[in-house]
Structures are given as structure tokens and as C-alpha cells.
Amino acid sequence: MSLIATSCEDLLTKNLDIEDDFGFEKQMVISGSLTAEADQIVLLVAENQSIVEPQNDPNYIEDATVTLSKDGEIVGTFFQDEDQFYKLDLTDWDEAWDGEYLIESSNDQYGTVIGSSTLPPHIVLTDLDIDEIQSGGGVFDDETQDYLVTFNIDDAPGKSFYRVEVVVEITDTFITEIDTFIDSFIFKPELFTTDQSGFSTWQDGLLINDDLFDGQDYTMNLNMSLSKWFFEESEFDFSDIQLHWYTMSEELYNFKRSYQQYIESTDFGPFQEPTSIYSNIENGAGYFGCENKSTYTFN
């Protein structure tokens, strides 16, 4: 395989030799997390892929036996739905959620793979507030407005990991000559912070660890931009904004952070230093983690 980079002045050619197998080993991959008090848990169980033969769709494993245990006791066995995801219904499960969870998946080809994670204690937020930033306008002055979101974290002693995202639900009413239509959609604005405890992601909001405020009451400041369209063209007010707050296991935090770093590394082409995605699955690959979730509204 040859890579050629050109400019007005230089021509660089680099040959990369890749052996056909280069030590690639097929493994079972498990991906998913458990959220306390959720109605179900959903897992992807698939075969890993070679970088030489990338595929758009996962190689789903259809004959795996997948179970969830808590503190050594079986919670239930997953079933595979029509979309080939493995699901476990938790609506009738009335046990306490705190504890250590174990995912175990096995089949004849790959043997047994396991992943464990401990659900962390729930940490509440206080003094949640949102203020319009008057100076400077939004990121695009003509189109957006910036806001400062603040809240306090009553952090417990010991390592803690958090995730926060803002969710805006917009409902529009359209009236025609013969009918009325109501349309709604979900939007997640990007969050930014200069706080060294926060780490911005493209898909999972803001990740936070407590290395700088372990065991303290800590105030977090976030910046958020909203399109002025929300205020001018839709039936929007601040009661439509929700803040989702997650207390995460270390395994889930490590995976989401490493995945964001991996996505960012792909922007720099073949000369970027390789970035590994975190895995806590034994005898296989992937991740399994736990989290507590709370929802807060802006008044």
C-alpha cells in the first residue's frame, strides 16, 4: 500500500507493508452499559474486525448465551431481538441496584468472555442555574446565543466519575387548512468548559473526574450555545431544557474518554500516534460499565 502526500513544493512517498494476517485474532466483542432503574439493558455482541478488511456493519454473533449477574446471583438471560441486539428486560426486577455486575457471554466458537463493573453511589447536584452570556453573543453571533450553566457537585471521598449532557425537546405545531400537526424532536447542544476536570465529547456530553476536588463541594461551569431559531421559530421555553446527570463507573468513563480520543486521532491521518480504545472484557474485547442517572430541569 502506498501513501502519497503532495504540496506545491514537496512530494513524499511512504510504503507501508502489511502482512495478510499480521497476528489478527478473531474475538467476541461485547459493548454496552447498565443504567440504574432502566427498563432494560441492551448489548452488542459481535465479532471483531480486521483493519485490512473493514466492514460497515458488525458481524453479529447470533448463538451466544448471555447472562447478567449481580453480586454473584443471576439476574437474567438476554434474548436477541430482530435487530440482532441482545436485550434483558428489567421492568419486573425489584432488587436494590447498588452492587457489582457481571456480564458473561459464551458460544462454541469463542468460548466464554466476561466483563464486570460496580455501580457507583449516586451523587446529587445542587444549585443548578443557567444564565445568558450578554457579551460576545454566540459562537456565530447572528445565529446563536451563549449560556453559562452552573451547578454544585457534592463529591464523595475516593475516585468518582461523572457525565453531563443537556437535552432540549422542541415541539412545533403546524396548522393547515384541514388539520393540525404536532412535531417534536430532541436536540443535544454541545457543552464546553475551561475547567480541567471536564473533557468534552462529540456524542456523550461532558465527562468529569474528581481528581481536583475529591471529597469536596465543587462548582462546575459549562458553556452552551443555542440557536436563536429555538426562540424565534418554535414553541420553546427553558422548561424544555433538561440536564441529564450520570454518576459513572470507572470502566465506563475510561471507555468513553478513550473512544473520543480515538475519534479525534483519525483526523490527523496515518502519521497520528495510534490511540487504543479501553476494554475491560476478559478473553475478548469491548466494554461493560454501569451508571446512575438523574434528570434536572431549568426553572
DSSP-based three-state secondary structure for 262: helix
- What pLDDT score does 264 carry? 83
Q: Quick one: DSSP state of residue 163?
A: E
Q: How many CB atoms lie within 10 A of CB 70?
A: 18
Q: What b/e string do you get for 128-150 counting C-beta neighbours within 10 Å, with b at 16 or more?
A: eebeeeeeeebeeeeebbbbebe
Beta bridge partners of 220: 151
Residue 5 has pLDDT above 70, yes or no: no
Decide: pTM greater than 0.85. no
Using CA atoms, how far apart are residues 36 and 120, in angstroms rounded to an integer?
A: 10
Mean pLDDT value of segment 212-216 = 95
- The set of residues, in sequence order, having a beta carbon less than 8 Å from that of 263 and lying 6+ positions away, is 202
Using CA atoms, how far apart are residues 288 and 102, in angstroms rounded to an integer?
A: 9
- What pLDDT score does 78 carry? 98
Q: What is the pLDDT of residues 147-189, one digit of tens each?
A: 899 999 999 999 999 999 998 876 665 566 666 655 666 778 8
Higher per-residue pLDDT: 19 or 275? 275
| Listed range (116-120, 209-213, 216-220, 264-268) with the worst mean pLDDT | 264-268
| Listed range (7-16, 216-225, 250-259, 280-289) with the worst mean pLDDT | 7-16
Higher per-residue pLDDT: 34 or 1? 34
- The mean pLDDT value of the chain amounts to 83
Inter-residue contact 255 to 31 (CB < 8 Å): no
Using CA atoms, how far apart are residues 218 and 121, in angstroms rounded to an integer?
A: 17
Q: Which three cell numbers stand for residue 181?
A: 400537526
- What pLDDT score does 60 carry? 94
Inter-residue contact 104 to 69 (CB < 8 Å): yes
Q: What is the pLDDT of residues 24-80, one digit of tens each?
A: 788 999 999 999 999 999 999 999 887 666 667 889 999 999 999 999 999 999 999
- What pLDDT score does 234 carry? 60
Q: What b/e string do you get for 13-44 counting C-beta neighbours within 10 Å, with b at 16 or more?
A: eeeeeeeeeeeeeebbbbbbbbbbeeeebbbe
- What pLDDT score does 143 carry? 74
DSSP-based three-state secondary structure for 275: coil
Q: What is the pLDDT of residues 81-140, one digit of tens each?
A: 999 999 999 999 888 999 999 999 999 999 999 999 999 999 999 999 988 876 444 444
- What pLDDT score does 11 carry? 41
Torsions phi, psi for 85 (to 5 deg): -85, 150
Domains along the chain? 24-119+251-290 (2.60.40.10), 125-248 (2.60.40)
